[in-house]
A and B are shown apart, each in its own frame.
Chain A
Amino acid sequence: MENILQIIKNSSALTKSLFLTIIGLPIIFLVQLIFYLIIAKWVSGFKKDKNKDNKK
């Protein structure tokens, strides 16, 4: 990884931009996926609790 970074650091702005795109979009996707999973889990957990309370 260090070697790749070193090559990118020494390359042109265009290459850096392409590299930024290649790693940037998947990272944003991953971050949003983490938030998605947290929200989905939180909402479904809340639903289960609510159903339990209703049964009681």
Chain B
Amino acid sequence: MKDLFIGFTSFSWQSAVMIVVGLVLIWLAIKKEYEPLLLLPIGFGTILVNLPLSVVLEHEGISGFLKILFDAGITTELFPILIFIAVGAMCDFTPMFKQPVMMFFGVAAQFGIFATIIVASFLGFDFKTASSIGIIGAADGPTAIYVASRFAKDYLGPISVAAYSYMSLVPLIQPVVIKSLTTKNERRIRMAKIDKTVPASLRIGFPIIVTIITGFIAPMSVPLIGSLMFGNLLKESGVVERLSKTAQNELGSIATLLLGITIGSTMQAEKFLNISTLKILGLGLIAFIFDTAGGVLFAKFLNLFIKDKINPMIGAAGISAFPMSARVIQKMAIDEDPGNFLIMQAVSANVSGQLGSVIAGGLVLALVPILL
């Protein structure tokens, strides 16, 4: 008789809370359209894994489908790698080639990663976990997932949720930080348009050069940067359009779907409902604030030395959340001065941020094991 009602008798209030968390994620994805591609599968995966007995993970010694997916795609790091190939095939570095000086904002805006690693360590996380939490500041979901799957598998769920949630909250977070660090006059600075012609050879050569150089500087980052650049080469070569389209569409969609639901499977009540999750969510916000502040303050610092001033808001676009951050900056620029068009510069900094975040992630992967 007991077996007949095992579904009810084995259910805990913690699992009920997690099912509510899953429903909230699905609601955010559908109603608010906050990163629906990831949050919807994560939300549903959260529900699946918290149903009585968690059969999707394991039952009577037999692995369930989510456990199989986890072992095949997360433990091996395969799913994030496939996502990187897809992202690379979607990346267009042309705006960065037109204004390469914007690349330095792609560095400054990575400040949040390191600041958050320090704060996370201060809060008691071990070095590997702190590094994984800091990578939320890359504002780059796949990089955060990749680093977390390498260094902090137990925290993969909260780190992924924080990374994608805050990315979708960029339009709310960045304006507040930018306004608190800049004057109205600074936000109204106009910048000259630069429209250089970019040689096709550069677009093709760049992913190869980046892979080789980073391969020598930080060999541990090769899976991350190499797969991103491979995807980009597929696109830029112009001779494998079918592969490029497949990487952008079918591969990207399948990998996102499997990655999302598998991350959801890590969100079991006993792993998720603890104080560490709250800390990670708080630290994620800190990471995005420091990223934005780092970029803005770097631009203000440069303005001390240069004649043609840079609108400091451009610095905030150096994060990887593309194209959301560039759009936020352009909207803010128009709000301050309707004739001020910063979109080209903002996109350029934003694309640089995409590259900068992957390099930062690769570097953390390379340096952390050396320091352990």
What residues of chain A have their CB less than 8 Å away from a CB belonging to chain B? 5, 8-9, 12-14, 16-21, 23-25, 27-29, 31-36, 38-40, 42-43, 46-47, 50
Say whether B19 faces chain A, with CB atoms less than 8 Å apart: no
**Number of interface residues, chain B, beta carbon within 8 A:** 48
Q: Which of B100, B196, B197, B367 contacts A24 (CB 8 A)?
A: B367
Question: Does B364 touch A at the CB level, under 8 Å?
Answer: yes
Interface pair B114/A39, CB less than 8 Å apart: no
Interface flag for B71 (CB, 8 Å): no
CA of A34 to CA of B367, assembled, Å? 19
Q: CB-CB < 8 A to A42: which residues of B?
A: 199, 201-202, 205
Whether A40 contacts B100 by the Cβ 8 Å rule is yes
A45 to chain B, nearest CB (A): 8
Q: Taking the nearest CB of chain B, how far is it from the CB of A23, in angstroms?
A: 7
B122 within 8 A of A: yes
Inter-chain contact total with CB atoms closer than 8 Å: 111
The reply to whether B199 and A32 contact each other, CB–CB distance below 8 Å, is no
Nearest-neighbour CB distance to chain A for B42, whole angstroms, equals 28
Q: A9 to B317, alpha carbons, bound, how many Å?
A: 35
- Give the shortest distance, in Å, between B329 (CB) and chain A (any CB): 20
Q: Report A-chain residues with C-beta under 8 Å of the C-beta of B196.
A: 43, 47
Instruction: Tell whether, in the assembled complex, residue A24 and residue B114 are in contact, meaning their CB atoms are under 8 Å apart.
Output: yes
Q: Which of B104, B115, B198 contacts A32 (CB 8 A)?
A: B104
Please measure, in the bound complex, the distance between the C-alpha atom of A18 and the C-alpha atom of B97, giving whole angstroms. 33
Shortest Cβ-Cβ A-B pairs, 9 listed: A21-B114, A46-B199, A13-B121, A17-B121, A13-B127, A39-B100, A14-B121, A17-B118, A17-B117
Q: Are B111 and A14 in contact (CB under 8 A)?
A: no
Is there an interface contact between B106 and A32, defined as CB atoms closer than 8 Å?
yes
Contact, CB under 8 Å: A31 / B214? yes
Q: Is B107 an interface residue (CB 8 A)?
A: yes
Q: Which of B53-61, B152-160, B302-310, B355-363 contacts A (4 or more CB under 8 A)?
A: B355-363
B37 CB–A CB distance under 8 Å: no
Q: Which of B171-195 contact A (CB under 8 A)?
A: none
> B122 to chain A: which residues have CB within 8 Å?
14
Q: A16-B371, A32-B103 are in contact. Are A25 and B114 (CB under 8 A)?
A: yes
